[in-house]
Amino acid sequence: MREVGLVTGNLHKLQEFQHGLARLGIKVRHLKVECDEIQADDLDEVVNGCLDQIAAAGHKDFILDDSGLFIPALNGFPGVYSAYVFKTIGCAGVLRLLEGISDRRADFRCCIGCQMEDVGRLVVTGVSPGRVVMEERGERGFGYDPIFVPDGADRTFAEMDMDEKIVFSHRGAAMRIFVERLRGMSKEV
Ligand code: ITT
């Protein structure tokens, strides 16, 4: 079984990767190294910058993700600034920004990057289209989970268990694409 180190400071992400990738044949351990996220317009630029930094530090066989909530009515905000916005104004602040706006559509995006000894670099993105609800709902998950309902569901990510969130989520979609691409590049998953 392939084993990879996940670079993240977010233990919820670690759980989602361990849960999602185990069933796709990859074992995930926590790789506790820091990455200085570069300021960029796209998630994949941030991911490539982190892959460069961590590979330059001598690490091999690792993955990481950069994710964000993109709201068209706010011109894509918070997007690549999602972590900072969450830390500063949180879900409540995003709900306030949307007050009086009827277009509540939003996309959650997850860009996964990996650097492997045998296959090199792979960067893929998964998207979960959905909408921002009117008030926070649910206790599970993390980040913006209480305010986002994916298309095809009527509950927020924070009202779903991890199995169900992975079916609908940006990270679940990215993990499935990632494993499919990896299978095309290597006999070992
Ligand atoms: P890293 O150490 O992996 O970077 P992070 O939590 O800072 O952890 P990101 O920069 O990728 O992760 O996340 C950007 C923001 O989007 C951050 O506030 C997250 O809480 C939020 N976010 C990412 N994935 C999410 C998900 O599946 N559900 C809810 N919020 C999410």
Domain ranges of the chain: 2-185
Q: 126-143 pLDDT, tens per residue?
A: 999 999 999 999 999 999
Phi then psi for residue 43, to 5 deg, are: -60, -40
Fold of the domain built from segment(s) 2-185: Maf protein (3.90.950)
Higher pLDDT, 24 or 102: 102
Alpha carbon nearest to ligand 1 atom 21, residue: 143
The per-residue pLDDT of the chain, averaged, comes to: 96
Where does ligand 1 bind, in terms of residues with CB under 6 Å?
A: 8-10, 13, 65-68, 82-83, 86, 141-145, 157, 169, 171
Cα–Cα distance for residue pair 189/37, rounded to 1 Å: 28
Residue that wins the pLDDT comparison between 97 and 186: 97
pLDDT at 186 over 90: no
Residues 117/186, Cβ–Cβ less than 8 Å: no
Find tokens 């820091």 and name the residue: 34
pLDDT grade for 39, boundaries at 50, 70 and 90: confident
User: CA geometry: angle at 44 spanning 128 and 42, to 5°?
Assistant: 80
Asked if the model's pLDDT at residue 38 lies above 90, the reply is: no
In terms of Cα–Cα distance, which of 112, 127, 110 is closest to 51?
Answer: 112
- Radius of gyration of the chain from its Cα atoms, rounded to whole angstroms: 16
Sign for the pseudo-dihedral over CA of 8, 145, 67, 90:
negative
Active site residue 66: yes
Rounded to two decimals, the pTM is 0.97
Q: At residue 60, what are phi and psi to the nearest 5 degrees?
A: -130, 155
Residues 19, 7 contacting (CB under 8 angstroms): no
Please return the burial class of 57, using the count of CB atoms within 10 Å of its CB with bins 0-12, 13-18 and 19+.
exposed
Q: How much distance in Å is there from the Cα of 79 to the middle of ligand 1?
A: 11
Q: Which of 90, 74, 63 is nearest to 8 (CA)?
A: 63
CA distance 60 to 77: 33
Pick the atom of ligand 1 nearest to 142's CA. Answer: 29
Q: Name all contacts of 33-37 with Cβ < 8 Å and 24+ positions apart.
A: 33/7, 33/57, 33/59, 34/9, 35/7, 35/64, 37/66, 37/83
